[in-house]
Amino acid sequence: MSETKRLPANVVAHSPLMQAVLRDAALIAGSDTRVLITGESGVGKEVLAEIIHAWSLRPAGPLVKVNCAAIPETLLESELFGHEKGAFTGAHALRIGRFEEASEGTIFLDEISEMSPQLQAKLLHVTQRGGFQRVGSNRELTTNARILTATNQNLEDLVKAGRFREDLFYRLNVVELNLPPLRERREDIAPLAAMFIAEFARGRARFSETVAACLEGYSWPGNVRELRNAMERAVLLSRSELILPEHLPTRVRDAGTHPATATEARQLEEIERQAILEALGKHAFNRTETAKALGISRRALLYKLQRFRQQGFDVGGPG
């Protein structure tokens, strides 16, 4: 990263997958392009939105965050666009909406897949002309806020199911940045754990090698959020400067009980490679379809194929 694009202290990106995402983020941050951030729950989509805003041409402007899943549908329109005094029962004063607040800055709409069809139509209008109306008003207002959105759902599948507007999907998805799950970026697990322990223990604790094996052997379905919670628990339960396996949640501790031998690890790697190469051939070497069939991100698949190519395996064919 350049001097003007340094990573925040709370971001760990040792893995090639994360480094690739951040390189893409750096390339598009200086534009006003709309960005759709995708990935499982807990991978850090909000953190990536913060990075894009910090690296943008408007870092001094506000970064306004709205979790569309956390606000009742009946209130979300008022939250986003504001309302006039007397617009509905309880509207005792004029309210400025989040899009107005975000002018000259960035608005981040998290869990965009939870937005109702009615609000999707109004958001589409914002993306087309920057225009919107407060609830209870016919006066058109405008905003120049940059729009970042995020979801843990597959919006293309929701479009096919009729639950998300296709035209809005293409308006929001000018650039898609997919954050890989923690299980696909194991190089980051130990550094992240160390960072969280330093935060909670104020630098007075560390973890044993056995703990490291447990952390790296666990699949982390809750991703970075789950890892952070596990490290907070470990610090609270530890009465010394050393975090031990018994301080970890049982599910994490059990992951390191029977670590694989080198032979077992090679066998597992061979099984994975065969499965990927077979799927690649089955889908005529189409990377996107192969990744979908395997249940991994396309970027993760490309990283694995690059490694296989370096090992001398044929992964050629149309991309």
Nearest C-alpha neighbor of 51 from the set 11, 104, 102, 100: 11
Q: How many CB atoms lie within 10 A of CB 73?
A: 12
283 and 224 together in one domain: no
Distances (CA, A) of 221 to 99, 123, 279, 290: 33, 32, 24, 22
Q: What angle do CA 73, 154, 160 make, to 5 degrees?
A: 85
Asked if the model's pLDDT at residue 79 lies above 90, the reply is yes
Mean pLDDT, rounded, for 229-241: 90
171 and 34 together in one domain: yes
Burial class of residue 74, CB neighbours in 10 A (0-12, 13-18, 19+): exposed
Mean pLDDT, rounded, for 89-112: 92
The rounded percent of the chain whose pLDDT value lies above 90 is: 63
109 and 230 together in one domain: no
Could you give phi then psi for residue 111, rounded to 5 degrees? 55, 50
Q: How many CB atoms lie within 10 A of CB 137?
A: 15
220 and 109 together in one domain: no
Asked if the model's pLDDT at residue 9 lies above 90, the reply is no
Q: Which residue has the tokens 């923690």?
A: 182
Region for residue 52 given its phi and psi (left: phi exceeds 0; alpha: psi -120 to 50; beta: otherwise): alpha
101 and 142 together in one domain: yes
147 and 20 together in one domain: yes
Tens of pLDDT, residue by residue over 132-181, are 999 988 899 999 999 999 999 999 999 999 999 999 999 999 999 999 99
- Domain end: 140, 162, 180, which one? 180
Asked if the model's pLDDT at residue 123 lies above 50, the reply is yes
pLDDT recorded at residue 2: 45
Tens of pLDDT, residue by residue over 36-77, are 999 999 999 999 999 999 999 999 999 999 999 999 988 999
Q: From CA 84, how far away is CA 92, in angstroms rounded? A: 9
Asked whether residue 276 is domain-assigned, the answer is yes
54 and 144 together in one domain: yes
Asked if the model's pLDDT at residue 271 lies above 80, the reply is no
- The DSSP code for 300 is H
Asked whether residue 303 is domain-assigned, the answer is yes
More confident residue, 263 or 93: 93
Burial class of residue 312, CB neighbours in 10 A (0-12, 13-18, 19+): exposed
Mean pLDDT, rounded, for 84-111: 90
Asked whether residue 250 is domain-assigned, the answer is yes
Asked whether residue 318 is domain-assigned, the answer is no
Asked if the model's pLDDT at residue 1 lies above 60, the reply is no
Q: From CA 219, how far away is CA 89, in angstroms rounded? A: 48
Mean pLDDT, rounded, for 236-247: 87
pLDDT recorded at residue 186: 92
Mean pLDDT, rounded, for 288-312: 81
Q: Which domain holds residue 299?
A: 267-310
Distances (CA, A) of 115 to 84, 239, 278: 22, 46, 39
Q: Give pTM, 2 decimals.
A: 0.82
Find the CATH number of the domain harbouring 296: 1.10.10
- Domain end: 225, 255, 285, which one? 255
Q: Of the ranges 67-76, 102-111, 264-273, 303-312, which one carries the lowest mean pLDDT score?
A: 264-273
Q: pLDDT-based confidence at 266, cuts 50/70/90? A: low
Mean pLDDT, rounded, for 258-274: 64
Asked whether residue 105 is domain-assigned, the answer is yes
Residues in the chain: 319
Asked if the model's pLDDT at residue 261 lies above 80, the reply is no
pLDDT recorded at residue 293: 80
Find the CATH number of the domain harbouring 203: 1.10.8.60
Helices (H), the chain: 16-29, 45-55, 73-81, 98-101, 117-129, 155-160, 166-172, 189-201, 209-217, 223-237, 250-255, 262-282, 287-294, 298-310
119 and 29 together in one domain: yes
Find the CATH number of the domain harbouring 153: 3.40.50.300
Nearest C-alpha neighbor of 287 from the set 310, 309, 265, 312: 309
22 and 88 together in one domain: yes
pLDDT recorded at residue 319: 46
31 and 170 together in one domain: yes
Q: pLDDT-based confidence at 240, cuts 50/70/90? A: confident
Radius of gyration for the alpha carbons in the chain, expressed in angstroms and rounded: 23
pLDDT recorded at residue 94: 87
Q: From CA 74, how far away is CA 266, in angstroms rounded? A: 55
Q: pLDDT-based confidence at 205, cuts 50/70/90? A: confident
109 and 163 together in one domain: yes
Asked whether residue 317 is domain-assigned, the answer is no
Total domains present in the chain: 3
Distances (CA, A) of 81 to 108, 115, 242: 14, 14, 51
Residue 184 corresponds to which amino acid? Answer: E
Mean pLDDT, rounded, for 97-124: 96
Asked whether residue 161 is domain-assigned, the answer is yes
246 and 284 together in one domain: no
Asked if the model's pLDDT at residue 278 lies above 80, the reply is yes
Asked whether residue 197 is domain-assigned, the answer is yes
Q: From CA 234, how far away is CA 246, in angstroms rounded? A: 8
pLDDT recorded at residue 257: 61
- Domain end: 180, 201, 235, which one? 180
Asked if the model's pLDDT at residue 260 lies above 70, the reply is no
Residue 158 corresponds to which amino acid? Answer: L
Q: From CA 45, how far away is CA 61, in angstroms rounded? A: 20
pLDDT recorded at residue 3: 43
Residue 230 corresponds to which amino acid? Answer: A
The rounded percent of the chain whose pLDDT value lies above 70 is: 93
Q: From CA 306, how far away is CA 310, in angstroms rounded? A: 6
